[in-house]
Structure 1
Amino acid sequence: MHILIVEDEPKIRDVLIAYLEKEGWTTDSTSNGIEAVQKFDYTQHDLIILDLMIEGMPGEQVCARIREKSNVPVIMLTSKSREADTINGLNLGADDYIVKPFRAKELIARIHALFRRIAPAKREDEKQVLRFNGGKLVVDLDAREVTAGGKPAHLTATEFKLLSVLIRRPGKVYGRADLSYTVQGYRFQGDGRAIDAHVKNLRKKIEPDPGNPLYVVTVVGSGYKFSMNPDDDGA
């Protein structure tokens, strides 16, 4: 795996390089947002670790530029005092975030959890292509592709995992903590805004009217559910 580290603090950057390469992964690194976008354009990366407070170009803008061209997983780094900015980063398409100060081993665990959800285990008795709303929404669980309204919906790894969890049990209400554990691979400690951000992004990509969702609906005081059963023929 080839990882791009975008971090302006040399000590943190060096620690991350050491730990990631100890895992057997290859790394590129930079402290500059403009250079980060350039590195991404010229080299294939499997993951971006992105600090928000960087020179050249803010981390949020780097994430937005990358999302214009790729769904590569992005983990954001942020200080506790800027957690609200991180939620904005999630709204731009980041898959996860971790608050400074953090332990390198925690970040490694998050990375492993992220890539486990990118390649989930198949259930042999499960249909791999599900259609909803007369075929207006098509989810190919095997190919990890989604079509909404006849157009490809380019979901991030986290958005696809979120959708795949919800559609497997239509009508089941998932609390934010349960979704965080199931989708992200760990129990989220916070107010649930990270999951809300991922749901918002997912709705933008699959809902005919994101402001009045048809598929992923809010259950006030409880969480979210997928409101529609698959088409009968499954074809």
Structure 2
Amino acid sequence: MKDITILIADDEIEISQLVSVHLQKEGFQTVVAENGLDALERLKKHSVQLVILDIMMPGMDGFEVAKQIRETYTIPIIFLSAKTSEYDKVQGLILGADDYMTKPFSPIELIARVHAQLRRSLTFNQQNQQPSNDMVYGELTISPEKRIVQIFAETIDLTRKEFDILYLLARNPNKVFSVEHIFQSVWQDEFYEGANTVMVHIRTLRKKLQEDKRKNKFIKTVWGVGYTFNG
């Protein structure tokens, strides 16, 4: 893991140091930022493979930092915050975070989630190096190797999770996937309370696919079962 660098952004230096120590014990390199602006600057200067991000920071909060990161980078983002409301968790996921943990936290669980996100990110990067054909469904084109989705040749901006959900459904047209199956396939984690997370991502994905303007929807809800792609 010597070639893996993790950025930790938290205005509580004790938290940053605690997280950094545990990550370094796992063989990771760490970069620490004390606020949002500092985090963005360090991200430009270092080759970072994952970001652990607090929300309540001076100058620029974690939500805005995540939003700006997603404009350029596809690296995993894990929120580590004292904000425990469902609204904050959903907001973080909508803005492009891959995971959300609340304080106080278990360092062991955090390390496990870091490994899970990195494993998944590295796996997709390896898959993207393999040749693959574009998937075309009417006006919708999905390019798995480039992770690009276009409607009428115009690229739409999807988060990593939104793309992964769409790709999972689209490469298995007309097959019905349960919410639990989608969560475990995309997040690669135990289901627990992942139903709301999946539904939020499906809702934003549909909006970006302009489903409200289309009579024949790409993503269909099979009530009581899950979701399917209309291929």
Q: TM-score, normalised by structure 2?
A: 0.82
Opposite residue 199 of structure 2, the aligned amino acid is D
Match of residue 132 from structure 1:
136
CA shift in 2, pair 1:33/1:160, >3 Å: same
- Equivalent residues of 1:49, 1:74 under 8 A apart: yes
Please give the alpha-carbon distance, in whole angstroms, between the structure 2 residues aligned to 1:161 and 1:51: 25
Structure 1 gaps of 5+ residues are 229-235
CA shift in 2, pair 1:23/1:154, >3 Å: farther
Please give the alpha-carbon distance, in whole angstroms, between the structure 2 residues aligned to 1:86 and 1:140: 30
CA shift in 2, pair 1:155/1:22, >3 Å: farther
Opposite residue 150 of structure 1, the aligned amino acid is A
* Structure 1 position 59, deviation (Å): 1.2
Question: Where does 1:1-235 land on structure 2 (aligned, <5 Å)?
Answer: 1-79=4-82, 81-118=84-121, 119-120=123-124, 128-134=132-138, 136-190=139-193, 192-205=195-208, 207-209=209-211, 214-228=217-231
Relative contact order higher in (CA < 8 Å, ≥ 6 apart): 1
Q: TM-score, normalised by structure 1?
A: 0.80
Identical aligned pairs, as a percentage? Answer: 36
- Equivalent residues of 2:10, 2:54 under 8 A apart: yes
Superposition CA RMSD, Å: 2.7
Structure 2 gaps of 5+ residues are none
- Equivalent residues of 2:52, 2:77 under 8 A apart: yes
- Equivalent residues of 1:2, 1:27 under 8 A apart: yes
Q: Provide the secondary structure at the position in 1 that maps to 2:84.
A: helix
Q: Provide the secondary structure at the position in 1 that maps to 2:20.
A: helix
